[in-house]
Amino acid sequence: MDKSVFDRTVGNDKRMKKLQQAAKIFKGQMIKRQSTISTLFLLLTIIYSSCNGQVNTYPTKDKQLKIITNNFLPELAEEYKYVQCGLQDTKGNMWFGTAGNGIYVYDGDSFVNFTHKSFINFSLKEDLNHNDILCCKEDIHGNIWFGTRRGLIRYTPSKEKPEAKDFTLILIPANTINNSSPNRLPYTLQSGDNFVWSIMQDKSGKIWFGTSRGIYVHNPSTDNDSIGPLFKRFLDQDSLTNNQHLQLLNVTSMQEDRNGNIWFVSPNWTANKGEGIVRYDGKSLVTFTPDSTYSFRSIIGRNNGDLLFLSPFNGVYSYDGKTFSNLTENIGIKNDTLMSIMEDKNGNLWLGHISENVKNGGEGGLWYYDGKSLKLFTINDGLPHNHVMCIVSDKEGNIWFGTRNTGLCRYDGKTITNYSD
């Protein structure tokens, strides 16, 4: 198995093992100091609470001008810490989710860091639920949702600048179904349900969450202030046709196309064989396999309405509504292991590599394709690291790159500015 291909997954496994080891070491201490922890988790499945997480910021005269990393688990190697997701909100703030260092917000002047400060002292009112932020999405009401290893975090702005009290911790509750059939399988809550890989909002306003145990859908119009958000397991619909008995586990990306179809992809990881590309047309699920690996990591919609599907193994496939074609082969990229993709407002494509040498940058970098020619950006051009995990554009046309070693930089079309300490 190619280690570079599964590099991210291996990192995930190692981090989970470290967390599990930490939990065992402090098990006795947890029992003494937090005898009510099980009650708190039970309450989380039916209610949600605001949190006042640790905030790392600085006074005006000494603003945090760059990302400063925190080492809550120092035994976790730095090369397994990433800036791995991001967005610009409607107010213009840039938000970045990291592996191991929580959430960073940049207002154009300085950074603020919100974190889960202790694995041991987990509290509904004092912490984020985890420092591994896997995905993020702003909804049509201006709320920002974050997927983590312990469920969801929802940010609801109350003032001009984000505050810790604006964050709400949410667990997706148990969803047990009766009278199972081949299309509706028996199901009970497991811890993996709250390992949230992806978030999407469709045109009707419903919010979709891809977890390690399946897809859940939330309709904000059904929110109840007394019990919090309500979730429905997508595969539990009586009207859904699922002739291939798909599970939709570990869906890492979702996208609604111009015709209202919902598309899902899942990587072919060691513990879970991917199900390829799956389309939901409002009635039934259908799979597509343009390559033999069944392994796709992400989907994006292009400005012209086409879809792009990124396979770490075999490049990027373009779908025009009728057929698939291998785009990376057409533009001259071959034998590259890709991790991230974005199209900017001018239709240019940005493609991030997986780096082979995790400590020193090694091979990798960032491809830029303008429709005619290719350009490769690397650490020699100013990237913090050659493993580019996420790519985000802002309203001014700048492109932000999140990398290994909690690296972050911005490209304005001429110069790369490094925002990593």
pLDDT in tens, 218-239: 999 887 766 678 888 899 888 9
Record the tokens describing residue 115, joined without a space: 């974190």
Residue 11: which H helix or E strand, with range?
helix 7-25
SS3 380: helix
Distance CA 4, CA 335 (A): 12
SS3 137: strand
Range of the domain at 215: 7-418
**CB 112 within 8 Å of CB 105:** yes
Is residue 176 situated within a structural domain?
A: yes
Is residue 1 situated within a structural domain?
A: no
Tracing tokens 């400590």 back to the chain, one arrives at 359
In CATH, what number is assigned to the domain containing residue 77? 2.130.10.10
pLDDT of residue 170: 87
**CB 405 within 8 Å of CB 84:** no
Give me the residues of the chain with pLDDT under 50, please. Answer: 1-20, 22-53, 57-61, 118-126, 176-189, 270
Return the bridge partners of 51, or none: 167
Distance CA 304, CA 297 (A): 21
Distance CA 320, CA 126 (A): 48
Record the tokens describing residue 363, joined without a space: 């091979």
Of 234, 239, 245, 238, nearest in space to 182 by CA: 245
**CB 343 within 8 Å of CB 299:** no
Please count the other Cβ atoms lying within 10 Å of the Cβ belonging to residue 367: 21
**CB 106 within 8 Å of CB 96:** yes
pLDDT of residue 317: 94
Tracing tokens 């609801």 back to the chain, one arrives at 156
Is residue 246 situated within a structural domain?
A: yes
Sorted by sequence, the CB contacts under 8 Å of residue 99 that are 6+ apart come out as 11, 15, 80, 81, 82, 84, 131, 132, 133
SS3 47: coil
Distance CA 12, CA 149 (A): 10
Is residue 279 situated within a structural domain?
A: yes
pLDDT of residue 56: 53
- DSSP 8-state secondary structure symbol assigned to residue 345: T
SS3 190: coil
Is residue 236 situated within a structural domain?
A: yes
**Cα 90 off chain centre by:** 19
Query: Please, what is the Cα angle at 93 between 90 and 98, to 5 degrees?
Result: 115
Is residue 159 situated within a structural domain?
A: yes
Domain tally for the chain? 1
| C-alpha gyration radius of the chain | 21
SS3 248: coil
Q: What is the pLDDT of residues 30-42, one digit of tens each?
A: 333 333 323 333 2
Count, residues in the chain: 421
Is residue 114 situated within a structural domain?
A: yes
**CB 84 within 8 Å of CB 134:** yes
Is residue 2 situated within a structural domain?
A: no
Sorted by sequence, the CB contacts under 8 Å of residue 56 that are 6+ apart come out as 64, 68, 70, 112, 113, 115
